[in-house]
């Protein structure tokens, strides 16, 4: 792709204004140094100094068809010229069409779409629907999960980012989902992990009181927490448990949905149909904010004669819906979902496993489609993580060195704790993946120096 001519002066001005006035999420404002981005195209973006980066993070794992896809950009421009906005209570052509295209791709009878502006709002509304549908209050969510940063969503989140804003929302109960590499159940194999995780979930339900539980929410494949593909049979087992106790089964596919796992929805990999699916990100590659809840017939019917008490001014915004219609069309025309599966099976997965063979710092490789994580360890035997922070809470040398080596070699990673996630666009090319793996190879040699 084209890279703009370097213009460090313009970059410095952008950066100075950013530092003066932009308050960044998840950051200590005085400690950050955000890269000034000059442009992006496909799998690449570039700065004002003439550096180009291969984006192995897909932004925040959402540019599923890469940056600036001309057909999606044109659809947004065309919609802006035609009808830039219209309130949610009206039927609007692109909104109807986006809902139809999404409903046709969700599993089972999840055929009604409630639009939101992003993932957290989708989670908030899924929980509200489940509570009103069941007349129950509690929601079970997993440790090692991320569901968003709004009040309910952050409380459902299992990862430590919730600690600072945990208001102790009544009724959120956390349980352990399966993860063999660091098994909470000391399991020795996938089958054992699956059985023990299901037994633990059912115990949790028994002790909380089945009649008090509205919903169980899980990421089909937990993303931010480490891309932990569930063992075969786990999600089907949760489905059975939900049916047994009349609990609404919510799958959060905000990150895993829309092609990332090599299927339209990650649930399709496990032949499981939840009651509600939350989505966002990949639905329109994030060109305009959009999220939503796909609702099954039974829960939708709860609100046939009784109003659903929830909604946002910009729900189903025409620009966002036009982007979704165009994105889904591009994904069909260019066989993007099939391509993501192919890349995972034949290029990215094997490539990462090959790196793991040569680098003692790689403790585990896991994932599917274009949704992969490698876990870096000090010692493969003990699985001691390559610590992300030192005792003072500063980014510790090993992971910081891994990240900066990648960037020096033109690869923009998604790094979380002791993990490097390889989550490129679903339409990343084979040669781009190979280029990324080569840069990762160099960075892992740096990580190796910190192994025991």
- Contact set with ligand PLP (CB under 6 A): 60, 118-120, 123, 146-148, 219, 223-224, 252, 254-255, 280, 291
Cα(281)–Cα(16) distance, integer angstroms: 29
Cα(261)–Cα(443) distance, integer angstroms: 25
Closer residue to ligand PLP in complex, CB, 222/363 = 222
**Least separation, in Å, of the C-beta of 61 and ligand PLP?**
7
Question: Measured at CB, which residue is nearest to ligand PLP?
Answer: 119
Closer residue to ligand PLP in complex, CB, 238/386 = 238
- What six digits make up the tokens of 326? 């165009």
Closer residue to ligand PLP in complex, CB, 147/419 = 147
Closer residue to ligand PLP in complex, CB, 361/416 = 416
Q: Give Cα separations from 125 to 84, 121, 122, 207, 304 (angstroms).
A: 25, 6, 5, 26, 17
**Least separation, in Å, of the C-beta of 423 and ligand PLP?**
11
Q: Where are the alpha helices (DSSP H) in 7-92?
A: 8-21, 58-61, 70-83
**Least separation, in Å, of the C-beta of 183 and ligand PLP?**
22
**Least separation, in Å, of the C-beta of 162 and ligand PLP?**
12
Cα(71)–Cα(42) distance, integer angstroms: 12
Closer residue to ligand PLP in complex, CB, 147/378 = 147
Pairing state between β 291-296 and 362-368: unpaired
- Three-state secondary structure call for residue 217: strand
- Three-state secondary structure call for residue 286: coil
**Least separation, in Å, of the C-beta of 405 and ligand PLP?**
25
**Least separation, in Å, of the C-beta of 119 and ligand PLP?**
2
Run of H or E residues at 127: helix 119-134
**Least separation, in Å, of the C-beta of 286 and ligand PLP?**
9
Closer residue to ligand PLP in complex, CB, 266/362 = 266
Residue of 433, 251, 256, 404 lying closest to 337 (CA atoms): 256
Q: State the Cα angle at 157 between 155 and 163, rounded to 5°.
A: 65
Closer residue to ligand PLP in complex, CB, 167/346 = 167
Would you give the DSSP letter of residue 231? Answer: P
């Amino acid at each position: 792709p084209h890279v703009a001519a370097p213009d460090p002066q313009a970059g410095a001005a952008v950066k100075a204004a950013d530092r003066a006035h932009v308050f960044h999420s998840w950051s200590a404002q005085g400690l950050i140094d955000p890269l000034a981005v000059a442009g992006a195209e496909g799998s690449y973006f570039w700065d004002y100094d003439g550096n180009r980066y291969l984006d192995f993070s897909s932004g925040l794992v959402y540019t599923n068809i890469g940056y600036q896809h001309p057909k999606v950009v044109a659809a947004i421009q065309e919609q802006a010229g035609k009808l830039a906005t219209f309130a949610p209570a009206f039927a609007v052509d692109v909104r109807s069409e986006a809902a139809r295209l999404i409903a046709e791709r969700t599993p089972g009878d999840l055929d009604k779409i409630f639009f939101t502006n992003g993932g957290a709002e989708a989670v908030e509304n899924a929980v509200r629907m489940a509570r009103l549908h069941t007349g129950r209050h509690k929601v079970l969510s997993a440790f090692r999960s991320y569901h968003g940063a709004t009040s309910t969503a952050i409380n459902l989140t299992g990862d430590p980012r919730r600690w600072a804003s945990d208001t102790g929302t009544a009724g959120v109960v956390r349980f352990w989902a399966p993860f063999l590499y660091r098994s909470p159940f000391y399991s020795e194999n996938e089958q054992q992990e699956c059985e023990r995780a299901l037994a633990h979930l059912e115990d949790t339900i028994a002790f909380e009181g089945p009649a008090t539980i509205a919903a169980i929410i899980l990421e089909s494949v937990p993303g931010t927490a480490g891309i932990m593909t569930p063992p075969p049979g786990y999600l089907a087992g949760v489905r059975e448990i939900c049916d047994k106790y009349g609990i609404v089964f919510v799958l959060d596919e905000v990150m895993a949905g829309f092609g990332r796992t090599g299927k339209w929805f990650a649930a399709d990999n496990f032949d499981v149909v939840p009651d509600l699916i939350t989505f966002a990100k990949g639905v329109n590659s994030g060109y305009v904010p959009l999220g939503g809840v796909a609702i099954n017939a039974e829960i939708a019917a709860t609100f046939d004669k009784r109003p659903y008490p929830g909604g946002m001014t910009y729900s189903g915004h025409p620009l966002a819906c036009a982007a979704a219609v165009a994105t889904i069309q591009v994904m069909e025309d260019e066989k993007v979902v099939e391509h993501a599966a192919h890349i995972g099976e034949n290029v990215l997965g094997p490539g990462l496993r090959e790196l793991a063979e040569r680098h003692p710092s790689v403790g585990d490789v896991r994932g599917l489609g274009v949704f992969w994580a490698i876990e870096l360890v000090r010692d493969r035997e003990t699985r001691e993580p390559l610590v992300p922070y030192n005792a003072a809470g500063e980014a510790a040398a090993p992971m910081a060195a891994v990240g900066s080596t990648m960037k020096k070699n033109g690869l923009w990673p998604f790094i979380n704790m002791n993990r490097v996630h390889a989550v490129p666009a679903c339409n990343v090319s084979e040669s781009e993946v190979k280029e990324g793996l080569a840069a990762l190879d160099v960075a892992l040699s740096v990580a190796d120096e910190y192994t025991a």
